[in-house]
Structure 1
Amino acid sequence: MAAAAACLPLFLLLLLLLISPLIIASTAQQTPQELLLDFKASLADPSGALSSWSRATPYCNWAHVACASATASAGAAVSVSLSLQGLGLSGDLNASSLCRVPGLAALSLASNAFNQTIPLELARCASLAALNLSAGAFWGPLPEQLAALASLVSLDLSRNSIEGQVPAGLAALGGLQVLNLGGNLLSGVLHPALFTNLTSLHLLDLSGNRFLESELPRELGEMRSLRWLSLRGSGFSGVIPESFLGLEQLQVLDLSMNSLAGVVPPGFGLKLQKLMTLDLSQNGLSGPFPEEIARCTMLQRFEVHGNAFTGELPAGLWSLPDLRVIRAHSNRFTGRLPEFPGGQSRLEQVQIDNNSFSGGIPQSIGAVRTMYRFSASLNELNGSLPGNLCDSPAMSIINISRNSLSGTIPEFKNCKRLVSLYLAGNGFTGPIPASLGDLPVLTYIDLSSNGLTGGIPTQLLNLKLALLNVSYNQLSGRVPPSLVAELPALFLQGNPGLCGPGLPNDCDAPSSRKHQGLALAATVVSFLTGVALLAVGAFAVCKRLVHGSESTPWKLVLFHPVKITGEELFAGFQDKNVIGRGAFGKVYLIVLQDGQSVAVKRLVNSSKLTFRAVKNEMKVMARIRHKHIAKMLGFCYSEGEVSIIYDYLQRGSLQDLICAPKFTIGWKERVRIALGIAQGLEHLHNDHTPQVLHRDLKSSNVLLGDEFEARVTGFGIDRVVGEMAYQCSMASDLNYKCYVAPEQGCTKKPTHLMDVYSFGVILLELVTGKPAEQRASDDSVDIVRWVRRRVNVTDGAAQILDPSISSTAKQGMQAALELALRCTSVMHDQRPAMDEVVRSLQALCFGAHAETPRPTEIDL
């Protein structure tokens, strides 16, 4: 027995020696087909994009797989490219199997939802020449192990949440030609070796990494092969190094939105013969701009706005043969505008607002056939308007407000594509040309603060106007009633001779009363229609509750520890627990057995998204963490219905506070609420990859904590219910139209500026102390119209600002009102971005003083 025991280890060793080669052989003998199938097994593929991958078909014939041979000979090595971008994939990547696929030369996993760190096993893909993980929801540090990919030519990790420093070890990738790390959370100082060693780079993109703390490295100027250099908005400081003058292959140079200072090096442009795009905007650069820029004969875009440049724009710049865009606004440029080279010019946009240009507008501007935007407001231009100002068949935007121009306004009969005409703040006289009414797409007209006379032409009724501002002129006569009824933004103040609805002189009082009666009738009809729609919706919901809940199982997914079951959640869907209603359903307050309170937003029209698709979207939203973003605790799913569980705050929503019988909180708290909302939105817009748009921001979607800290909720609903269901629900939500930007019905793609408009409406609520949906006389009007009808009249601010706030806060309230009006501008490009809004509110918050209650407040 002892001898047998002594032989056992020897036997096991022999057995291991016999089996190991078989195991190794089995592993080594895995075909590329099997390795790719192993990789596929690690993925969640909700759309079935990889369903054609099977052992029955050669892998080179699979969807999203491409094979190529270096030579045509039999048995030649095969180069494999795997392109899986934009397929909605997720899961834990099995990179170890993938990297054993022979000849894997290109891998793209871009625009997916992996929600994980970059797998270190990717460093074993020895033959990889191109790796693209952009917008793949990757996070965590940038692995230094990727430096082992000696064959790598292109590395794109942009638009993720990669953080920390850029590893100096990446400098070992000497053959790298493309390095794109833009749109991440990289921080710290960049190591000089990254630039001295990566001399083969054609493209370097570090844009959108605002936590970097580096001066502009002079070593960049030694990268002689660079064609594309983008450092936009990445915290760079210091001066532009003289070494940049030697980047002779450069085609695109973007240093915008940094903290650069000093002058542009003399001779800049002398050797940059291939430069096509130059963007130095939004820095602190100063001094005259070097004349040598006129030597860049291939230049197409010249953008230097938002600096402190002085002197004249280089004379040769205007006549460059390929130049399309000049954006030099918000500087200190002086001098006269030169005559344009007429038919030879390819200029499309000239924006030189907010400078000190003088003299007349060039007579040759109308001969530039490609010009579609000429904007020169806030300068010192004088003389009359050229009659051929918009003879260009492309001219769409003219803005020459706030100058010293005079004479009459030309007929502009050839301006068939003119959309915006801004002539405010000049010295124009004579009548408003009736021919403006013949311009088919004219939408925005601002002729305010001039010396115009006569009446408002009835021909303007031919236009579908979104803005007509003729305030502060010398106009007279009757205002066409339909203008007042149709326009979302109409400004008539400062014309004592005008009469009509909404003006001190009503022209015809009986007629006015008749119009009010019709408006009241229309309001009643709209109300009854809304009640009918709500009844139909309630019936549909009840039907679903009775029939659907019994047959469809609930799937509960929690992202945080919450003691709740699907049954408890469903039992809480009772009318007595409803605390809010919106376009997508009701919001319920449910108190759990352990005393915790949660708010549940029940989406009863959730399209046909599968559970896996909803879970992927919810995981993305649950990852959004910010002190001013409501915490998403989890969700519950059944077919056609999703309920989102949020942490509930005891003060309820901002709408509850505003609509309470007494909205008595002070200005300091209101500014704090506004700043919190803005910071939450800025985080969604700028700090999260991919960018998240709220698309349903309103005061009922802002929850308040004990210290009035605001938390934004209800964002990203469109990603859960689907775009079609989202649009349908929003169209039927009559109660909250006032929060919706006016361009939303005219554009196919939502933008962050639509959220800015909604925020502006909330800010108006805080400034006025009134809910967004107003009642003015017998006419229902939203708060934006209510404010704009009063803002330009005498003592209008006194009518707008909440009288319950102490007079010591009036200055801050006035500043907040001006910010709200900018946010709710009819023209979306006039609205500030959320980061600018945050800076403005931070200044207001710092200056806010606690007000002393007035005696009338105490008596109430």
Structure 2
Amino acid sequence: MIKMRKKCEFRTLTRIDKEIVALPLKFSREELLVATNGFANDRRLGQGGSSQVYKGFLNRLDRLVAVKRIFAESKHSEKLFTNEVKILSRMIHRNLVQFIGWCQEEGEFLLVYEYMPNGSLDNHLFGTRKSLPWDVRCKIALGLALALDYLHEDLEQCVLHRDIKAANILLDTNFNTKLGDFGVAKLVDPRFRTQTTDVVGTYGYLAPEYLSEGKVTKESDMFSFGVVALEIACGRRTHHEGEFHVPLRKWVWQLYLAGNMLEAADETLGLSFDRKETECLMMVGLWCVHPDPKRRPKARQVIKFLQQEVPVPELPLDTYEAPTSCQPSTHRTESSCIQEFSSFSAR
């Protein structure tokens, strides 16, 4: 049994070596155990559906790191691990989490990243960390757009992230955006504009055409960006686990129609926000979640909007089908929300 497992690990390592451009550092399991104090609970930074992340200190590099431990018992663990190593090893950008190294040993799948002292955007907007001032929120939104422009346009093969959400946007010491978690990201041949694939990601952030038909494109990533942009401006989740409400985008849209969109601004900001910039970010968010993928702006256009190089166009009044009641607290069923998503793609 042990010999068979070692052979399997060797084949996986060899395959990864051939597929990536520049192999990051390889660590031993023992080295990462020491760094994280044996993956102690008090070192845990967070947990997702397929992994846990721990704070560690690497003596070899004399630096703090974040160690992602993919659940080995998951049937997709090796695929997630291989995919993330392969994709992150091709990329370097100031708005992407720096990938430092990896380990596949004794059935463990471990990834090592730079440590983000200010945690995730999700924790600042909806969790226990301090609320972010408006200028920092603007910087984060712009940084995310810059990261997506790099992934979509500046690489030999386009990278579709497929799981853009506030929890995957990490913040360094200076609150700079660092997009992370590329476990379900997809390399796309630029000759093919649309690919059909299994639906992965987080409900509430998924584009309607992706949710209903599995069509993954740059535009589906931009839809997710739009949801995050609205969350940043409004300080509200796009959805609540266990409860289904009118989507945030529809609530903001109704306020836009009524001419009082700024009522959606995050209450924790008080009056400490720039009205013009807030309207701009909300308008960008609404354009990015447009039901017609062809109408969504590209990341490069979003950058120009956020930097106020060009004005954000007014949205057509018939963009969305407005529900009769559109308060964030209105309860909805899961099936009605999915039908609503599907009706967008049929328009």
- TM above 0.5, yes or no, is yes
What is the rounded CA distance, in whole Å, between the counterparts of 2:27 and 2:174 in structure 1?
25
What is the rounded CA distance, in whole Å, between the counterparts of 1:561 and 1:637 in structure 2?
9
> Cα offset for 1:620?
4.2
Alignment of 1:32-111 (within 5 A): 91=18
What is the rounded CA distance, in whole Å, between the counterparts of 1:703 and 1:834 in structure 2?
19
What is the rounded CA distance, in whole Å, between the counterparts of 1:753 and 1:673 in structure 2?
20
SS at match of 1:601: strand
> Cα offset for 1:810?
0.6
Q: Say whether 1:717 aligns with 2:181.
A: no
Aligned partner of 2:248 in structure 1 is: 783
> Cα offset for 1:579?
2.3
> Cα offset for 1:601?
2.6
Q: Say whether 1:705 aligns with 2:172.
A: yes
> In the superposition, relative to structure 1, how do residues 584 and 662 fare at CA in structure 2: closer, same or farther (>3 Å)?
closer
> In the superposition, relative to structure 1, how do residues 581 and 609 fare at CA in structure 2: closer, same or farther (>3 Å)?
closer
Q: Say whether 1:696 aligns with 2:160.
A: no
Q: Say whether 1:837 aligns with 2:286.
A: no
Q: Say whether 1:792 aligns with 2:257.
A: yes
The amino acid across from 1:814 in the alignment is E
Preserved contact between residue 226 and residue 285 of structure 2 (Cα < 8 Å):
yes
What is the rounded CA distance, in whole Å, between the counterparts of 1:637 and 1:561 in structure 2?
9
Aligned partner of 2:339 in structure 1 is: none
Aligned partner of 1:762 in structure 2 is: 228
Alignment of 1:721-740 (within 5 A): 727=198, 730=201, 736-740=202-206
> Cα offset for 1:669?
1.6
Alignment of 1:155-170 (within 5 A): none
> Cα offset for 1:701?
1.0
SS at match of 2:208: coil
Aligned partner of 2:334 in structure 1 is: none
Residues 522-577 of structure 1 show CA distances to partners (whole Å, capped at 9, x for unaligned) of xxxxxxxxxxxxxxxxxxxxxxxxxxxxxxxxxxx853899971433675434333
> Cα offset for 1:738?
1.3
Residues 383-437 of structure 1 show CA distances to partners (whole Å, capped at 9, x for unaligned) of xxxxxxxxxxxxxxxxxxxxxxxxxxxxxxxxxxxxxxxxxxxxxxxxxxxxxxx
Aligned partner of 2:97 in structure 1 is: 630
Q: Say whether 1:670 aligns with 2:134.
A: no
The amino acid across from 2:281 in the alignment is A
> Cα offset for 1:786?
3.5
Match of 1:802 among 260, 266, 270: 266
Aligned partner of 1:750 in structure 2 is: 216
SS at match of 1:832: coil
The more displaced of 760-769 and 745-754 is: 745-754
What is the rounded CA distance, in whole Å, between the counterparts of 2:244 and 2:220 in structure 1?
26
Preserved contact between residue 95 and residue 143 of structure 2 (Cα < 8 Å):
yes
What is the rounded CA distance, in whole Å, between the counterparts of 1:808 and 1:659 in structure 2?
18
Match of 1:651 among 118, 141, 146: 118
What is the rounded CA distance, in whole Å, between the counterparts of 1:558 and 1:89 in structure 2?
11
Residues 469-509 of structure 1 show CA distances to partners (whole Å, capped at 9, x for unaligned) of xxxxxxxxxxxxxxxxxxxxxxxxxxxxxxxxxxxxxxxxx
The percent identity for this pair of structures is 27
What is the rounded CA distance, in whole Å, between the counterparts of 2:277 and 2:169 in structure 1?
22
What is the rounded CA distance, in whole Å, between the counterparts of 2:182 and 2:144 in structure 1?
12
SS at match of 2:91: coil
Aligned partner of 2:314 in structure 1 is: none
Match of 1:772 among 218, 238, 242: 238
> Cα offset for 1:655?
1.1
Aligned partner of 2:64 in structure 1 is: 597
Aligned partner of 1:115 in structure 2 is: 21
Alignment of 1:284-683 (within 5 A): 558-559=24-25, 565-568=31-34, 572-592=38-58, 596-604=63-71, 605=74, 607=76, 609=78, 614=82, 618-638=85-105, 642-660=109-127, 664-683=131-150
Preserved contact between residue 36 and residue 56 of structure 2 (Cα < 8 Å):
no
Q: Could you say which structure has the larger radius of gyration?
A: 1
What is the rounded CA distance, in whole Å, between the counterparts of 1:570 and 1:668 in structure 2?
34
More helix by share: 2
Residues 785-836 of structure 1 show CA distances to partners (whole Å, capped at 9, x for unaligned) of 44234332353x1320124253661111111111100111122111111111
Q: Say whether 1:815 aligns with 2:283.
A: no
What is the rounded CA distance, in whole Å, between the counterparts of 1:678 and 1:610 in structure 2?
27
Preserved contact between residue 608 and residue 639 of structure 1 (Cα < 8 Å):
no
Q: TM-score, normalised by structure 1?
A: 0.30
Alignment root-mean-square deviation, CA: 3.9
Match of 1:825 among 274, 290, 312: 290
What is the rounded CA distance, in whole Å, between the counterparts of 1:794 and 1:779 in structure 2?
26
Structure 1: tracts of 5 or more residues without a match = 1-43, 49-87, 92-112, 117-556, 721-725, 731-735, 846-860
What is the rounded CA distance, in whole Å, between the counterparts of 1:89 and 1:663 in structure 2?
40
> In the superposition, relative to structure 1, how do residues 808 and 799 fare at CA in structure 2: closer, same or farther (>3 Å)?
closer
> In the superposition, relative to structure 1, how do residues 567 and 841 fare at CA in structure 2: closer, same or farther (>3 Å)?
same
| Structure with the larger RCO, 1 or 2 (CA within 8 Å, 6+ apart) | 2
> Cα offset for 1:742?
1.7
The amino acid across from 1:689 in the alignment is E
Alignment: residue pair count: 286
> Cα offset for 1:704?
1.0
> In the superposition, relative to structure 1, how do residues 622 and 765 fare at CA in structure 2: closer, same or farther (>3 Å)?
same
What is the rounded CA distance, in whole Å, between the counterparts of 1:766 and 1:786 in structure 2?
15
More strand by share: 1
Preserved contact between residue 774 and residue 781 of structure 1 (Cα < 8 Å):
no
> In the superposition, relative to structure 1, how do residues 728 and 746 fare at CA in structure 2: closer, same or farther (>3 Å)?
closer
> In the superposition, relative to structure 1, how do residues 729 and 742 fare at CA in structure 2: closer, same or farther (>3 Å)?
closer
What is the rounded CA distance, in whole Å, between the counterparts of 2:204 and 2:185 in structure 1?
19
What is the rounded CA distance, in whole Å, between the counterparts of 2:20 and 2:64 in structure 1?
32
> Cα offset for 1:645?
1.4
> In the superposition, relative to structure 1, how do residues 824 and 728 fare at CA in structure 2: closer, same or farther (>3 Å)?
closer
What is the rounded CA distance, in whole Å, between the counterparts of 1:686 and 1:782 in structure 2?
30
> In the superposition, relative to structure 1, how do residues 682 and 618 fare at CA in structure 2: closer, same or farther (>3 Å)?
same
What is the rounded CA distance, in whole Å, between the counterparts of 2:85 and 2:141 in structure 1?
27
> In the superposition, relative to structure 1, how do residues 809 and 659 fare at CA in structure 2: closer, same or farther (>3 Å)?
same
SS at match of 1:737: coil
> In the superposition, relative to structure 1, how do residues 641 and 755 fare at CA in structure 2: closer, same or farther (>3 Å)?
farther
SS at match of 1:753: helix
The amino acid across from 1:642 in the alignment is F
SS at match of 1:645: strand
What is the rounded CA distance, in whole Å, between the counterparts of 1:684 and 1:572 in structure 2?
35
SS at match of 1:773: coil
> In the superposition, relative to structure 1, how do residues 745 and 806 fare at CA in structure 2: closer, same or farther (>3 Å)?
same
Preserved contact between residue 237 and residue 248 of structure 2 (Cα < 8 Å):
yes
What is the rounded CA distance, in whole Å, between the counterparts of 1:738 and 1:610 in structure 2?
25
The more displaced of 630-639 and 798-807 is: 798-807
What is the rounded CA distance, in whole Å, between the counterparts of 1:786 and 1:582 in structure 2?
28
Preserved contact between residue 692 and residue 716 of structure 1 (Cα < 8 Å):
no
Preserved contact between residue 287 and residue 297 of structure 2 (Cα < 8 Å):
yes
Q: TM-score, normalised by structure 2?
A: 0.69
What is the rounded CA distance, in whole Å, between the counterparts of 1:753 and 1:763 in structure 2?
15
